[in-house]
């Protein structure tokens, strides 16, 4: 995710990192080459007696803009829901530890162990959503036997929830947790499970492929045919206007692709590493530990992973 401080409007016109221009500039160059080629072949094109007017392109452009707007709204809704789910995970994690810290008979070593399970769950969810291996990444927070048991599952987050539930059950058997408090703590675990399920629903259910495909094809066919409609009226100005219009449509199409999967590693995806870092910092600070990690900061390109 790009976390860039507010800049002057003139500076923002030339911003490179964080824009989709880095991904689509080669496609815009192809459009530029096509537009220049159309200018050179204009006499031959006119000799054919075929003339494209701007009327159909005006109607089609409005239709494409409407459908691109709808698709971007749908993709941003997925992005926003994903961020709300991770925000809920942060809130639930703090509430869960706060109630665990209120247990009078719980030892500090046991609570430290429970904090490690909470941190492991957040990072495990991050790795699972990004389809990355979990075994080595979770080693700082899980014991070796637990790590092997968790990594052997196709749903490792569920097994970490089982470890957290088992710890709470032992405290209940020992009389540390009352029945009333047990229900509240169990509800927090259910909220962890609901967050994981909501994230899995987003990542495994993309927008309908046929809808995305027809819009993608229409945008590129429009951009390919546009210079032929502009050249007879604009002549040498054709490349400038054609590239500008193509940038608008292709950039919106590319941005929608990024937002459709908000858990990835692209510039406009969620900064899950930074969110996990914030959750760990909050939990260890609440627990009074000395090994609170440093706050993750953006790199020189204002990127948070």
Q: For the segment 36-75, what is each residue's pLDDT rounded down to a tens digit?
A: 998 888 777 767 766 777 788 888 888 999 999 999 999 9
122: tokens are 């957040």
d(CA 70, CA 301): 30
> What is the mean pLDDT of the segment spanning 25-45?
88
d(CA 187, CA 89): 13
d(CA 285, CA 235): 66
The CA R_g of the chain, rounded to the nearest whole Å, is 26
d(CA 138, CA 136): 6
Q: What's the pLDDT tens digit per position in 98-107?
A: 999 888 766 7
| Among 1-5, 192-196, 216-220, the least confident range | 1-5
Q: What's the pLDDT tens digit per position in 141-194?
A: 999 999 999 999 999 999 999 999 999 998 888 888 888 888 999 999 999 999
Q: Which pLDDT belongs to residue 40?
A: 86
> Does 113 score more than 70 pLDDT?
yes
Is the distance from CB of 222 to CB of 248 less than 8 angstroms?
Answer: no
Q: Which pLDDT belongs to residue 4?
A: 67
> Does 249 score more than 90 pLDDT?
yes
d(CA 153, CA 150): 6
| Among 67-76, 86-95, 213-222, 228-237, the least confident range | 228-237
Residue 17 DSSP one-character state: B
Q: What's the pLDDT tens digit per position in 258-292?
A: 889 999 988 888 999 999 999 999 999 999 888 88
Residue in 251, 252, 226 with CA at minimum distance from that of residue 239 = 226
For the chain, the average pLDDT equals: 89
Q: Which pLDDT belongs to residue 129?
A: 96
> What is the mean pLDDT of the segment spanning 103-120?
87
d(CA 210, CA 216): 10
The structure's pTM equals: 0.90
d(CA 253, CA 216): 7
Q: Which pLDDT belongs to residue 50?
A: 66
CA distance to 10, 28, 31, 89, 252, per residue, from 34 (Å): 30, 10, 5, 50, 21
- Sole residue written with tokens 């990594």: 151
CA distance to 10, 64, 152, 207, per residue, from 57 (Å): 31, 10, 55, 27
Helix axes 54-101, 209-234, angle to 10 degrees: 140
Q: Which pLDDT belongs to residue 301?
A: 67
171: tokens are 């405290």
């Amino acid at each position: 995710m790009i976390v860039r401080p507010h800049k002057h409007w003139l500076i923002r016109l030339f911003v490179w990192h964080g824009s989709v221009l880095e991904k689509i500039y080669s496609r815009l160059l192809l459009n530029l080459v096509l537009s220049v080629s159309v200018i050179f072949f204009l006499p031959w094109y006119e000799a054919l007696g075929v003339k494209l007017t701007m009327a159909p392109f005006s109607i089609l452009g409005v239709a494409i803009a409407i459908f691109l707007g709808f698709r971007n709204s749908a993709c941003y809704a997925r992005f926003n829901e994903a961020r709300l789910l991770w925000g809920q995970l942060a809130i639930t994690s703090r509430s869960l530890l706060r109630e665990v810290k209120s247990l009078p008979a719980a030892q500090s070593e046991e609570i430290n162990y429970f904090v490690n399970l909470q941190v492991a769950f957040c990072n495990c969810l991050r790795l699972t959503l990004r389809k990355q291996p979990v075994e080595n990444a979770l080693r700082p927070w899980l014991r070796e036997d637990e790590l092997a048991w968790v990594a052997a599952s196709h749903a490792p987050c569920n097994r970490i929830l089982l470890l957290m539930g088992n710890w709470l059950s032992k405290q209940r058997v020992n009389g540390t947790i009352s029945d009333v408090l047990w229900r509240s703590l169990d509800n927090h675990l259910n909220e962890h499970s609901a967050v994981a399920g909501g994230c899995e629903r987003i990542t495994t259910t993309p927008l309908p492929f046929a809808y995305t495909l027809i819009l993608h094809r229409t945008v590129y066919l429009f951009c390919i045919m546009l210079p032929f409609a502009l050249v007879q009226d604009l002549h040498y100005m054709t490349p400038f206007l054609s590239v500008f219009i193509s940038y608008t449509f292709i950039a919106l199409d590319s941005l929608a692709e990024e937002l459709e999967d908000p858990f990835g590693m692209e510039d406009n995806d969620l900064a899950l590493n930074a969110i996990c870092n914030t959750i760990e910092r909050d939990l260890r600070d609440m627990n009074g530990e000395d090994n609170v990690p440093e706050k993750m900061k953006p790199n020189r390109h204002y990127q948070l992973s």
